[in-house]
Amino acid sequence: MRSHRVLPIWLLWLTQGQGLTIPNVDDNSADTWQDSHQEFKRTIATEDQEYLTTYAKDDIIPATETVDVSKSKAQTGTAIVLPSLSDVEPHTEGFIVTDLYNPLQTEAPILSTSIKSPSSLLKPVASPTKNAQPSGLSKMATSNDIFANPIDTSAPLAMFQRKTDHPVPRLGISKSGPLETNKFYSNFYLGDQKAPVYTYPYALSWAAGAGAAASWGMAISHVEASQRVYGPLQSNKAVEYYINPVGIQSMIISAKELGSKTTLTMDSLGPHYARAILRKDSSSAPAITFPLSQGSLFTTAYYSGATPFIQSSVYFKSMTQVAKDPKTNVRKFNFVLEDGTTWRLYAYKTRGDPLNLTVTNNGLASSSKPFYGFIQIAKDPKSSKSEAVLDNGCGIYATGMTISGSAVGTKGTYSFNWSKSGHTSGNLWMFALPHHLTSFDAATTANLRDYKLQTPTKGVATIVGGTKWTMVEPSMPVNMGFAPWDSSKGSKGLSTKAKTTIKPIAQSEVSQDMIAQTNLDSMYFSGKALAKFGTIIYVINNLLGDAALAQSGLAKLKTAFARFGTNKQNYPLVYESAWGGLVSSASYVTGESGSDFGNTYYNDHHFHYGYHILAAAYIGSMDSKWLAANKAYVNSLVRDFANPSSQDKYYPLWRSFDWYHGHSWAHGLTAMWDGKDQESSSEDIMSVYALKMWGQVIQDTSLVARANLQLAVMTRAMQQYYYYTKDNVAQPSNFIGNKVAGILFENKIHHTTWFSPNIEAIQGIHMIPILPPSNLARTKTFVQQEWDTYFSSGRVDKIDNEWKGIIYGNYATINPSAAWTFFTSSKFDAKWIDGGASRTWFLAYAAGEFESMEAVAKTRLTTVIQPSPVFNRLRRSRIEAAS
C-alpha cells in the first residue's frame, strides 16, 4: 500500500540525459571524453545518495579497438583466448540502491485520528426482518476449469466517468486495449526504460549506451549469493537488508546497427509474457526482438537481418565455437568471462547463413553478416545436467503461459501451460521457484533436472522440462468464513460470558459516526473503516445473536457505503482506457502522483479495493436486496485487480497477483531499479480473502474456488519469502532473524517500511488486518518465534500507539487468554486501537481462538486420559477468567 519513490535522475546510469557513446580512436580531447563518459562503480548509498555513476577513460575498451588473440585446442573445439587485461578491470560490482526514495506520498497505513466516543448508543430496530434470498443471483455455471469463467464482461458502469488519458504515458507500447501495470516487465515502458526487468533468475536491462561496453543492446545479469550486499547488523542479530547489485553487464545481445537513436518498444503484453523490441530508430523495422517470460532458461533474441554484436562489460577470457552442432541449424559458442563464469550462446538460423563470430577484443565478438534467426544465451553453473539441458532446449522459447485449475473439496490443482515456438527438436525448459517444487505433482517432479541458479530474492531456482507444470494444494481453507477461524479446527462460537463482555463494547463501537470515519479522501482509509464496521455488525448479528441491533447498525453502514456505491465520494473513481482500469480521480484533480498512496498510478489496488469488497461481503451476507443492487459495482472493483479471463475486454488479467511468484505486487506505474515490490503481505491475503467471501455471498463458485486456491498458494509462498521461521532455507541465514521481510522487492528485501523504522510498524504491517485468515500463513510456530524475538518479556507493553492493539490481536493466535485480558482491561486506552480495527472484533477473535484451542485441548486430553476433577476446576477457572 505504500507508494514508491524512484531515484533522482542524477543517480541513473545516464545522468543529465547523456549517452555513453563510443569515442573516435583519433579523438585526443580529454574534455570530450569526460563529457560523454562517466565513472560507474558500486558504492553503498550514503545519506546523500552518493552513487558514482561514471566511467573513466581507461576503464573502457572501445568497440573499434582490436587485440591479438591466441588459439587453444579445447575438448569441444578451438578456443579463442583473449589477452590478459592490463589497463582495465572487469566490471563485476554494479551498484546498489539502499535508500527508500518515494515520489508518492507515504503515510502510515493506520488511522491514527482520535475516534470520538458516541454521544448516545444506537438503538436496536423495533422489528428485525428476515433476510430473503434475492432474485437474479445464482451459482455460476460449473466448469472443469475454475479459471475459465469471467467475473463479468459488460462495459464499465455509467457512473464511472470515462477518460482516455493518464498521467503516465504508454511509452513504446504498441498494444491497444487493457494493459498490465504491475508486472515484471514494467520497467521497460516506464521512466527512461533503463531500469532492469527481472525474469528470474536473470535480470535484463537496456544498456542504452551505458556501461563499460557502451552498448545499445540488451544486457544480461545473474547475481550469485556471494555477490550480495548486506546491510548493518541489527539488535536481533540479523542484517537490515540484502541487495543484489544492479548494472552488471555479463553478456549483452546487440547489433551493429544500434546506436544513439535506438528505441525500445514493447508488444504482446500479457500477465506472464511480453516482447521487448530494439530498433535502429523510431521509423525502422525491429532489429532484435526479445520474448520475455518469467523463469526462462535462456535470454532469447530474434534477429530479422541485423548484424549481431555480442558484448560484455565483465569481459571475455575466451570464446569457443563448439565443433559439433547440438541440433540442425544451431551453432554453439562457449564464453568464459573474467569473473570465471561460463555462458553458452546458441544461434538457431531460420534462413540465410549460420552465425559466425569474430572476437574483436575482450568486450566484443561480432558477426560480419546479417543474421536471421534466434540467438540464445544462458549461464551454465556446470552441474551434472546443465549443459545437456541447454543443448536439448536450445532454439526453443516460451511465447506465453496460461493457467488452468480445478478444486474438489479441500484439494486444489492448478497448472502452468506454456506455449512455445522455435526449433522442432527438444523441450522447453523453465526455472521453478522453491514454493513450486514443494507442490509439484509426480509427473512434473519427474521432469526436474540438476540445473540450479540463485534468484534475487526467492531462493534457488531449479530447471523443469515440458510445457506444463501441475501443482497441488491439498489443504485449501474451504471451511473458513466470516467467523474467527483456526486452521486445524475451523470456527467456534462464543461462550455466554464472552458474549456478555463483548456486547456493550460492540454497541458502543457500532454507535460511532460511520459517515465521519468513512467519508475520506482516500479509497484505502475509507475502505478500512467500512470493513471495520462490517466486522462489528457481523459479530453483533452472527456471534452475539442480536439481529435487532445489527440491523440498526447495518442501516448506517449501508448509508456510508452508498457514497462509494454511487461513486459520489470526494474523489470518484474513473475508468481510464489508456491503461484500462478503475482509478481514483485524485491525481487528475490534485496533480499529485502520491494522492491516496498512488491509486491513480495503479499502486495498491488490491489493498484499497479489497477492503471495500470485504465490507460489501459483510453487508450482502445480511441484506440480499442490497446485494442484488450493488453487485455490479462491487464486481467492478473485483475485475480491476483480479480479472481471471481474457473474455473481459476492459481490464487486464490478474493486475496484482503474480501466479509465478505466488503473491501480489503492490507497485504500479513508476520505474524502480529493484523492480516491483510489496510491503503488506497480510493485506495481500486480506484482498484474496475478500474475494472469497464476496464470491460466497454472490454464489460465484469459480471466484470462491480461485480465492481458496490463491490463499493456499500464498500460504506456501509467503512462508518461504515473507515469514521466516528458524528452519527457513529460501532466505539468507543472516536475514531470517528479522522474522518478516519488511519490503519485498524483486531484487532486494529490506527489513523496514515505507513510513516508519519502528519495529512495531515493520512487523505489524505484516499483521494488519487481523481476520480469519491471519493464522493461515502466519502459523502458531511463526507467531511464537516472532513474539519471542520482539515482544515478549513485557516489551510489547512499552509500545504506546495504535500498533499495540494490532500486535495483541495477532498474539491471540497463540495466547488468546492474554489477548483477551489486554482488550478487556480497565486500563485499556483507545489510542491503542487503529481506526481501521475494533475492540469488538479483537475480542471476538481472541474468544473464538480460545474456544477453538480449548476444544483441541479437551479432545487431546480425553483421548489420552480422563482429566481429574482438579484439572476440570482449573480449566473452568481459566475459561471464566478469559471470558
Q: Measuring CA to CA, how many Å separate 439 from each of 474, 628, 881?
A: 9, 39, 43
Find the catalytic residue in 546, 596, 674, 679.
Answer: 679
CA distance linking residue 820 with residue 801, whole number of Å: 18
List, in order, residues 6 or more apart from 47 with CB less than 8 Å away.
99
Residue that is written with C-alpha cell 464486481 in the block:
635
Nearest by Cα to 703 from 649, 648, 665? 648
- Bond before 772 cis per omega within 30 degrees: no
The CB-side HSE value for 541 (13 A sphere, CA atoms) comes to 25
CA distance linking residue 173 with residue 177, whole number of Å: 11
Active site residue 604: yes
Cell of residue 312, nine digits:
560484455
Active site residue 683: yes
CA distance linking residue 104 with residue 3, whole number of Å: 5
Contact 693, 202 (CB under 8 A): no
Instruction: Tell me the pairing of strands 70-73 and 657-658.
Output: unpaired
Q: For residue 351, what are the β-bridge partners?
A: 372
DSSP label at 566?
T
Contact 627, 137 (CB under 8 A): yes
Cell of residue 711, nine digits:
490463499
> H-helix or E-strand containing 693?
helix 681-698
Neighbours of 137 (CB within 10 A): 15
Cell of residue 808, nine digits:
495483541
Nearest by Cα to 252 from 291, 286, 212? 212
- Bond before 201 cis per omega within 30 degrees: yes
Rounded to the nearest 5°, which phi and psi values hold at 308? -65, 135
Determine the 3-state secondary structure of 842 from DSSP. helix
CA distance linking residue 378 with residue 303, whole number of Å: 17
Strand boundaries in 538-671, DSSP class E: 573-576, 581-584, 657-658, 663-664
Find the catalytic residue in 604, 640, 849, 851.
Answer: 604
List, in order, residues 6 or more apart from 205 with CB less than 8 Å away.
194, 195, 196, 197, 218, 219, 221, 246, 247, 249
Contact 221, 244 (CB under 8 A): no
Rounded to the nearest 5°, which phi and psi values hold at 405? -170, 170
Instruction: Tell me the pairing of strands 573-576 and 460-465.
Output: unpaired
List, in order, residues 6 or more apart from 127 with CB less than 8 Å away.
548
Contact 765, 743 (CB under 8 A): no
Contact 172, 671 (CB under 8 A): no
Find the catalytic residue in 152, 240, 677, 683.
Answer: 683
CA distance linking residue 380 with residue 345, whole number of Å: 10
List, in order, residues 6 or more apart from 482 with CB less than 8 Å away.
538, 542, 617, 618, 621, 693, 772
Residue type, 368: S
Residue type, 528: K
Q: What is the 3-state secondary structure (H, E, C) of 219-247?
A: EEECCCHHHCEECCECCCCCECEEECCEC
Cell of residue 523, nine digits:
479509497
Q: Measuring CA to CA, how many Å separate 380 from each of 79, 138, 249, 327?
A: 17, 54, 16, 18
Residue that is written with C-alpha cell 456493550 in the block:
504
CA 161 from chain center: how many Å? 29
Active site residue 224: no
Q: Where are the alpha helices (DSSP H) in 812-867?
A: 816-824, 839-864
Annotated catalytic residues are 604, 679, 683
